[in-house]
Amino acid sequence: MTDFDLASWYAAKDFTTDWTSHNFSVWAALLAARRDDALEVLEIGSWEGRSAIVFLNYLPRCRITCVDTFAGSADHDFNPEWATAVGDCERRFDANLAEFSARVEKIKAPSSCALSRLAIARRRFDLVYIDGSHHSADVYADAALCWPLLVEDAIVIFDDYEWTLASAEDERPKLGIDAFLATQAGQYTELHRGYQLIVRKRP
């Protein structure tokens, strides 16, 4: 197997969608130097587990905490097939991640509740992937709740920065991401800007 072998990693897995694979080459480049580290990864919005599988394979010593309601969102109404897939997405997530059960913590809850509980428990993370609700206010809230959970030099991946399926600006992630980062001016280094926006928290 090569260092980045999606075909092998996804063999015998059950997916209905692929919204993330086009981002993985960027992840591989940014995380290459940390592949041997025992990273704590936090993922907000896990769906069927496609991105979690990449983290678990590419970072073989990492542990991942996956937060999702597994109830879908208004975004799934854009496509009837997406809406149909919601009902069984948790079963697919569980089956797809079963081989990694010792390294996966699943939290079935709204992100606001889950992140608050993680903060109270004084949990800390090296890598955070924010891919939950697309509404700008929700993305802002997720970022604000995640930021205190980050260790120095932690990486934050904001998904869907250029997502435009919703017509209203406040129903897209970009507005929330930009507003949050404006509150952290000087506290982060931008690593990548494209469909995703990726930053590193400065010491």
DSSP 121: T
Q: Among 176, 174, 172, 180, which Cα is nearest to 193's?
A: 174
- What's the token pair of residue 137? 């206010």
Q: Count helices and strands (H / E) in the chain.
A: 8, 7
CA–chain centroid gap for 44, Å, is: 5
Tell me the pLDDT tens digit for each residue of 178-187.
Answer: 999 999 999 9
Q: Are 178 and 148 in contact (CB under 8 A)?
A: no
Q: Residue 70: which region, alpha, beta or left (left: phi > 0; alpha: psi -120 to 50)?
A: left
* Domain boundaries of the chain, sorted by first residue: 25-201
pLDDT at 87: 67
pTM exceeds 0.75 for this model: yes
pLDDT at 168: 86
Residue by residue, DSSP assigns 54-91 as: HHHHHSTT-EEEEEE-SS--GGGGGSHHHHHHHTTHHH
Q: How many CB atoms lie within 10 A of CB 34?
A: 17
Q: Does domain 25-201 have CATH number 3.40.50.150?
A: yes
Task: Identify the segments of the chain with pLDDT beneath 50.
Answer: 1
In angstroms, the CA 168 to CA 140 distance is: 16
Query: Kindly report the CA angle at 33 between 97 and 173, in degrees rounded to 5?
Result: 60
- Across the chain, mean pLDDT equals 92
Tell me the pLDDT tens digit for each residue of 23-66.
Answer: 999 999 999 999 999 999 999 999 999 999 999 999 999 999 99
pLDDT at 4: 78
